[in-house]
Amino acid sequence: MIFSIGLIIGIISITALVLFIFAKLVSRHCCRNVQDGSGYAVLITGCDSGFGHQLAQCLDQKGDEDVQQAKMMVEENLPEKGLWAVVNNAGISDWAEIEWSTIEDFRNMVDINLFGSIRTSIKFLPLVRAVKGRMVYTSSIFAFFNCLNMGAYSVSKRGLEAFADCLRVEMASFGVKVSIIQPGNFGRATNIVKMKTSSDIWEKLDEDRKHTFNRQYIDLANEYFMSTCNSGFKNSNMVIDAMLHAVTSARPKRKYLLVSAMDRFFFQLFPFLPTVLTDAVFSLSPMYAKRKEMLYSK
């Protein structure tokens, strides 16, 4: 009996290995004929500044307020080959604890970061599908890394990744590749983080929440968040390189995790940890301990 079970497990393992190798060979063979997008158009949303602006400059060197109007403009100016890729980069960022936020704060964040990308995707997918091109989405590590002050932003980016994951499965039948860019702390490189003072936050709170959180904690939270942002990457080179790879490589990645080498192992492991451990991570933070001590204090 033991021998038979061992034999079966061995056969299954060998079969799985053979299938894996076969799949890799087929993948490589299929990718040899994939074009890099040269001579095609690439639509980048949100390229007035930050990642999108720099990507547009790089692609230009290599040779939307209203989505319907944007589509008409693109169609009127398309090169002969067509539209190769859409880089959904338009987005906003803000920070606040959930109780400091209003439903309008959440609605505005989700409408731009999530529904904006969905609207753009639905309009331009037929053009990209026609040439078996690329759809790229700028997400964030906060799509899976839950922490203080990023509730609304995390909601919008987690939704965006769910949309992109579903789209990737659907588009595989058409030969369209879908990639997700997951930048870490690039606030200093892009100026995407909304600057506000502790007074801005304090004045939005009602009396009950002022009693709960108190002004000293608001001051501390604002100082901590700003210092954290200022400790991020000085430039966007890592993100731009990932976007270029997603648009032009014969074998683009499904996801590009863009953090420091020191943080990479942690963020790769984090999504697979049980909730009890991921929540416990924050208890190790000095800021989290100070927060607990300062709540309700006068």
Dihedral angle of Cα 92, 94, 100, 103, to the nearest 10 degrees: 10
Q: Tokens for 47, please give them.
A: 């390229």
Bridge partners (DSSP) of residue 85 are: 42, 134
d(CA 16, CA 13): 5
Annotated catalytic residue, options 40, 137, 153, 256? 153
Per the CB < 8 A criterion, the answer to whether 137 and 121 are in contact is: no
Q: Kind and range of the H or E element at 216?
A: helix 207-230
Element (H, E) at 293: helix 286-294
153 among known catalytic residues: yes
Q: Which residues pair with 137 in a beta bridge?
A: 88, 180
Residue 61 CB partners (closer than 8 Å, separation 6+): none
Identify whether the C-beta of residue 124 lies closer than 8 Å to the C-beta of residue 86.
Answer: yes
Phi first, then psi: what are they for 33, rounded to 5°?
-95, 5
Strand, coil or helix: 180: strand
Strand partners, 86: 43, 135
Residue 257 phi, psi dihedral angles, 5° rounding: -85, 115
DSSP character for 113? I
Give the pair of three-digit tokens for residue 32.
Answer: 């040899």
Q: Contact at 8 Å (CB) between 244 and 55?
A: yes
Q: What residues are annotated to the active site? A: 153
